[in-house]
Amino acid sequence: MKTCLQTHELTKIHKGVTIVDNVSITIKPGEIFGLVGPNGAGKTTLMKMIMNLVKPTHGDLDILGESVTPTSYKYLQNIGSIIETPRFMEDLTVLQNMEIHAQYYGYNNTSRIMDVLGRVGMATHKNLPVNRCSLGMKQRIAIARAILCEPKLLILDEPINGLDPAGMREIRLVLKRLAHEEGMSILVSSHILAELEQIIDAVAIMKNGTLIEQLTMNEIHARNLEYFVLETPDVQKALVYLTTTLNINNCAIVGERHIRIYEMSLSYQELFAKLAQGDFSVDGFEKEKKTLEDYFMSQTKRGSEDA
């Protein structure tokens, strides 16, 4: 099996409005695949079409090498998901919540429940009432419920939203273990790109319902993603100096005190020496690499400029 999930020109039009427009993505087995885009990009709708919660207007969907039709449901046995905010019976324990969920789906097996709780690091908290669990712990319970059926594909919509740094780290470790140690494919969306960057193997960038680009993280890192950061209280004066005196136009003001310089023809030492000759204070000058967030912003901004 070369692919776990493949969509081909998947489209959703609702009341004359195109929500998802000809989106084609491919997810490999054991891969953590990020889905990113501004609010309203169509990410959740795409996930819901994969889950058969929303019927596509047209397009094709293949799961585990089999074609999915609008009347297909059996394939959902191979998918676990958290699309909406997970809900629990708060006064009951973690184990009791899991048992109720298992009974509903026909998996009334205590050893299986304890197995999935252990895989998400919640087995030792099985007797803890859910109303005493942190948000991160609740998300891990929700993931345990989602993997109870031993899915090949796990779909998570904003699983770290609202979590503190410790909670984000907990979820990050769980997802990496499920994918890279157990071979589960994971489709995950998040607007916290710095966190997402630490776990994903590939990413699809969406905007206004369309797919801008799909690429691996290795491909992102292999591109020219270095830049200089100038810190100065005189950003306007420094920008004029860069663009007129030094003829460097590929730069931009970021915040109140920083300018990012994407022109890399000069070395660090050469550019620093030239900046020191300018009529402004240089409080800091560093060489940095673009993050996934930087790349995402450049791609979505470019899409706006080309439109």
Question: Between 87 and 299, whose confidence is greater?
Answer: 87
Question: Between 125 and 109, whose confidence is greater?
Answer: 125
Instruction: Give 115-120's long-range contacts (Cβ < 8 A, gap of 24+).
Output: 116/144, 116/145, 116/147, 116/148, 117/141, 117/144, 119/144, 119/147, 119/174, 119/177, 119/178, 119/182, 120/144, 120/147, 120/174
Domain with CATH 3.30.70.100 in the chain: 226-289
Flag whether pLDDT at 303 surpasses 60. Answer: no
Contact call for residues 295 and 219 (beta carbons, < 8 A): no
Tell whether pTM > 0.85. Answer: no
Predicted confidence at residue 224, as pLDDT, reads 57
Q: What is the mean pLDDT of the chain?
A: 91
Q: Which CATH number fits domain 5-216: 3.40.50.300, 3.90.650.10, 1.10.1200.10, 1.10.287.370?
A: 3.40.50.300
Residue 21 backbone phi and psi in degrees, to 5 = -125, 100
pLDDT band at 289 (very low <50, low <70, confident <90, very high): confident
Contacts of 237 (CB under 8 A, 6+ apart): 278, 279, 280
Contact call for residues 151 and 4 (beta carbons, < 8 A): no
Contact call for residues 78 and 63 (beta carbons, < 8 A): yes
In Å, what is the CA distance from 77 to each residue of 114, 148, 154, 208?
A: 20, 10, 11, 31
Q: What is the mean pLDDT of residues 120-143?
A: 96
Predicted confidence at residue 306, as pLDDT, reads 39
Q: Among candidates 85, 13, 23, 91, which has minimal Cα distance to 56?
A: 13
**What CATH code is assigned to 226-289?**
3.30.70.100
Domain with CATH 3.40.50.300 in the chain: 5-216
Predicted confidence at residue 274, as pLDDT, reads 96
Flag whether pLDDT at 65 surpasses 70. Answer: yes
Which structure tokens are listed for 257? 């005190």
Give the whole-angstrom CA distance, residue 191 versus residue 211.
16
Q: Nearest 5 degrees, angle CA 87-CA 73-CA 19?
A: 70
User: How does pLDDT run across 26-51, given as a tens digit for each residue?
Assistant: 999 999 999 999 989 999 999 999 99
Predicted confidence at residue 226, as pLDDT, reads 81
Residue 284 backbone phi and psi in degrees, to 5 = -170, 150
Residue 223 backbone phi and psi in degrees, to 5 = -80, 170
Predicted confidence at residue 292, as pLDDT, reads 86
pLDDT band at 56 (very low <50, low <70, confident <90, very high): very high
